[in-house]
Amino acid sequence: MKRECEIVQDLLFGYQDGTLHEASKDLVEEHLKKCEECRRIFSEMKKDEIEVDKKEEQEQEIDYLKKVNKKMSRKNSLLMVIGTILGIIILLNVGIFVYYYSEAGKVQIYLNDDITQEQIDNIKNSVLKIDENAKFEYYSKEDALNKLKERFGDNKELLSGYGEDNNPLNTYYVLDTNVEKAKDIENILKSMQGVKKITGFYDTNPYIFMFSKFIM
C-alpha cells in the first residue's frame, strides 16, 4: 500500500492539472477512495492551489489599481495644470479689464493758448453735468514740456532748444471720469470754444489699451 501511495502522490499534480492519461487517472481516483492519507494530501494541494489563485488574483487587482491610479494621477496632474493656466488667464483678463476701466476713462483736454477763464468754466460745467464726480488735473505748458522730456529719456537733449518763450505745447487738463461717460464728454467738448483737441483711450479695446501702456 505504501508503494501505491508513493506512486499516487507523484501523480496527484498531474491529476490536479488534468494532464494524466485515462489509466493513470483511474488509478488515482480508485486509490483516493480507499486511502485517507492521500485524500488529505490531495485536499491540501487543492487548498494551496486556491490560495495561489487568490494571491494571483489579488496581485492582478493590485496591478490594475496601480495602473488606474497612475492614469488618474496623470489625469489629475493634467487637470491641475489646465486649471492653473485657466486661472491665470482669468485673473489676467480680470486685471486687464479692471485696469482698463480705472485708467481708460482719463481724457486729455488740450486748450488753446488764448482760452479765457469763462471758456474754462464752461468746459468744467459741461463736464460736471455729465459726471459730477469727474476730477480735473491741470498741466501748464511747462509741465507738458517736462513730461515730454521725461518720455524722451536719454534723448531729452533734443528738446533743449525749447523753453518758456518758444514752447510749442499746449496747456491741458487730465479729466478723470469713467469709460462710459468719456465719449459723451468728448462729443460735447470737441465743439466748445477754447478746446484745441481731445484725446483718450475710452474707445480702445482693453487688450490694445493694456499693450499700448506696456510699450510706452
Residue spans of the domains in the chain: they are 2-65, 104-215
Query: Which of the four pLDDT bands, split at 50, 70 and 90, describes residue 214?
Result: low
Rounded Cα–Cα distance for residues 86 and 80 (Å): 10
pLDDT per residue as tens digits for the range 69-127: 777 778 888 888 898 999 999 999 998 888 888 778 889 999 999 999 999 999 999 99
For cell 474754462, what's the residue?
120
**Overall pTM > 0.95:** no
On whether the CB atoms of residues 134 and 128 are closer than 8 A, the answer is yes
| Ramachandran bin of 135, using left for φ above 0, alpha for ψ from -120 to 50, beta for the remaining angles | beta
Q: What is the pLDDT of residue 50?
A: 62
| Overall CATH class of domain 104-215 | alpha beta
pLDDT per residue as tens digits for the range 164-190: 788 889 999 999 998 889 889 999 998
Angle between helices 2-17 and 36-103 (to 10 degrees): 30
